[in-house]
Amino acid sequence: MNGHCGHDGVELPTLDPGVTLLDVDSSLGVEPLCAVVLDRLLHESGRAFWVDAGGHVRTRTLLQLAPHRRYLDRIATARGFTAYQHASLLDRLPRVVSDAAVDGDPPALVVAPAMDRLYREDDVPREQARELLVGRLATLAGVAREREVPVVLTRHRDDALSEPLAAAAHETYTCRATRFGPRFDAEGGDDETLVYHTGDGWMQTTLAFWREILDHRARAVDAPVDTAGDTARRPSTPAAPATPEGW
C-alpha cells in the first residue's frame, strides 16, 4: 500500500459472528461504521438490521458511501428516540430478524450504534438505566448466537454505564484518525492492523475516501456499483438573479 491510489487489497475488519465493539474516534464521524456495514453487504447476502439511537443513522451518508443506492434497500432500520423506545426495539428485534429470515432474507449483520446513548438521558432513573441496557445487550448477544450473525456495537462514552458493552464483546476494533488516514486495529492482536495510506492530500473528504474504498471493494467481488451516480451529487450552478429591467 502506498501513495496516491494505494488502496489495492485494502481490507476492512472482517466480522465474525458474535458481538463486536467498534470504537471510532469521534473526529471520524459515522462514516467508518457506515463503511463497515456496507462492506458487509457487498460480501454477504441478506439484510443488515440497524437499531438506531437518536438519529445516528444518516441515510444521506449511507447514500453517499454506498457503491449503489440499492444497498439501502437491504438495510432495515428503526430508531429509538428515548431509552424506552430503544429498549422496545431491541425486544422486537429477534422476532423481526426471524420473520425476515422466514421470508428468505437472513440477517447479514446487526448494528446498534451509540448503544448506551439514550440510557443517559434525564428521563431514565440511574438504577434503571443499567438494568435496561444490560437486558438489551443480552438480547443482542442472543441474536448473534442463535443466528450466527455479527452484531456491531459502538458506544457513546467509555465509562461505567457502557462497560458491559466491552465485556460482552468477543472482539473490539478501534478506528483512529492517524496522519496516514483512518486506521482499524483489533484490540489484543497486532495481525489485524489495517492502515489506509492516504498520502499527501489525496483525500479531500472522508466521505470521498470511504466511497472510493467501497467502490473498489465492490468491484473486486463483482457487487453492483452505480457508475452514473456521481453526476447526481454535483451541486447546481448558481443562476443570475431574475430581476426585471428597471430595478
Partner 1 sequence: MVLTIDYDDTAVTEWRLTSDGVERTRVDDYRPTMYVGAPVAELYGEHGGPTPRARLPKRGALTDALADVRAFFEGHDAVADLSVDVWRQTFRSDARPVLRVDCRRIEDVRAVARRVHQFGDADAHTCYNVDLTRQLRYTLETGTDPAPDTAVRDLRTMRLGLPAHGSDAAALADLTIDGEPAGATPRAAVEAVAERLAAVDPDVLVVDTARVVPLLFEAAADHGIESFALGREPGYTQLASASTYTSYGQVGHSPARYAVPGRAIIDRSNTFFYDEAGLDGCLDLVDRAGLPLQELGWASIGRVLTAMQIREARSRGVLVPWRAWRPEFFRSATTLDTADRGGTTLAPEVGVHEDVHELDFASMYPNVIREYNVSPETVRCGCCDNDRVPNVGYSICERDGYLPDVLGPLIDGRSEIKRRIRASDDPDEIETLEARSSAIKWILVSCFGYQGFSNAKFGRIECHESINAIARELLLDAKAALEAGGWRVLHGIVDSIWVTPAPDVADAERRPLDAIAGEVSASTRIELEYEAAFDWVAFCPRRGGDGGALTRYFGRRRGEPYPDDGLGDAVKTRGIESRQDDTPAWVARLQAALIRTLDRTHDAEAVCGELATWLGRLDDGAVDPSDLLIEQRVSKRAEQYRHETVTVAALKRAAWKDCALEPGQRVRYLVVDDDARGVGRVRLRHEPLRGYDTAWYRRQAIRAAESVLSPLGWDRERIRRWLSGTRDARLSTY
**What are the residues binding partner 1 (CB under 8 A)?**
49-50, 54, 57, 59-60, 62-63, 69, 72-82, 84-89, 91-92, 94-96, 121-123, 125, 127-128, 131-132, 135, 235-244, 246-247
> Could you tell me the smallest distance in angstroms from the CB atom of residue 92 to partner 1?
5
> Could you tell me the smallest distance in angstroms from the CB atom of residue 200 to partner 1?
29
Judged by beta carbon, residue 49 or residue 184, the one nearer partner 1 is 49
DSSP-derived pairing of the beta strands 47-53 and 107-112? parallel
Judged by beta carbon, residue 34 or residue 169, the one nearer partner 1 is 34
> Could you tell me the smallest distance in angstroms from the CB atom of residue 222 to partner 1?
22
Asked whether the CA dihedral 25, 26, 32, 36 is positive or negative, the reply is: positive
DSSP type of residue 74:
G
> Could you tell me the smallest distance in angstroms from the CB atom of residue 133 to partner 1?
10
Q: In sequence order, what DSSP letters do the residues of 227-245 get, joined into one string? A: SSHHHHTSPPPPPPP-PPT
DSSP-assigned beta bridge partners for residue 69: none
> Could you tell me the smallest distance in angstroms from the CB atom of residue 66 to partner 1?
9
Judged by beta carbon, residue 201 or residue 241, the one nearer partner 1 is 241
| Longest CA–CA separation in the chain, Å | 75
Judged by beta carbon, residue 133 or residue 168, the one nearer partner 1 is 133
Judged by beta carbon, residue 114 or residue 169, the one nearer partner 1 is 114
The candidate with the shortest Cα–Cα distance to 137, out of 98, 106, 167, 108, is 167
Judged by beta carbon, residue 130 or residue 176, the one nearer partner 1 is 130
CA dist 182 → 17, 22, 162, 221 (Å): 24, 13, 24, 23
Amino acid at 203: M
Judged by beta carbon, residue 179 or residue 234, the one nearer partner 1 is 234
> Could you tell me the smallest distance in angstroms from the CB atom of residue 140 to partner 1?
14
> Could you tell me the smallest distance in angstroms from the CB atom of residue 219 to partner 1?
22
CA dist 203 → 132, 180, 196, 212 (Å): 41, 10, 11, 10
CA dist 198 → 13, 26, 173, 175, 215 (Å): 18, 19, 20, 15, 16
